[in-house]
Amino acid sequence: MTDAERHAEALLDALGFAGDPEMAGTARRFAELLAEFVPAPLEPLSVCASVQPGPVVVRQIPFHSLCAHHLLPFSGTVSVGYLPDRTLLGLGSVPRLVGALARRPQLQERLGEQIAGEIVRSASPLAVVVEVRARHLCVEMRGARTPAEVVTLAQRGVDHPWLLARVSER
């Protein structure tokens, strides 16, 4: 039994779940779940040179994450648009980046900012817009106790209304 499993078992015991046959193995599974959200180093985004590229939009990339405040799941989609300068990102880089950053305890606002920041760092585009749409179990189960979609935007670089409109359209 790992330290994480022992601590999870102690937590469940402290909450009064000791001896519940339905909870057999729960401490191990809970520890394994949380271990999936340990931050891993980000892989470099693949980039290639391009002459006079136009705007690029990758829409509705699904993700799942854990709320950093409550350790409850939130999930939704990320849409990314950027206006390259002279460098294009590999199309698979954007979904891989979203997945890597979501696989750590997160705040929705921070997730969008981190995605935008990594794209700027890797490709130096003229503009980036990142829209994150998600439902949060911490809001639905604990806070307001009602379902709601939360929409956040992160933007870098020059204002680009066309890019913003394409990222946000449904």
CB-based contacts of 80: which residues, under 8 Å, 6+ apart? Answer: 57, 58, 59, 61, 94, 98, 115, 119, 128, 129, 130, 131, 167
For the entire predicted model, the pTM comes to: 0.91
Look at residue 1 in the predicted model and tell me its pLDDT: 86
Phi/psi-derived region of residue 106, left when phi > 0, alpha when psi is between -120 and 50, beta in every other case: beta
Residue range(s) of every CATH 3.30.1130.10 domain in the chain: 47-168
pLDDT in tens, the chain (170 residues): 899 999 999 999 999 998 899 999 999 999 999 999 888 889 999 999 877 678 999 999 999 999 999 999 999 999 999 999 989 999 999 999 999 999 999 999 999 999 999 999 999 999 999 999 999 999 999 888 999 999 999 999 999 888 999 998 87
Domain 47-168: give its CATH code.
Answer: 3.30.1130.10
Look at residue 157 in the predicted model and tell me its pLDDT: 95
Look at residue 144 in the predicted model and tell me its pLDDT: 86
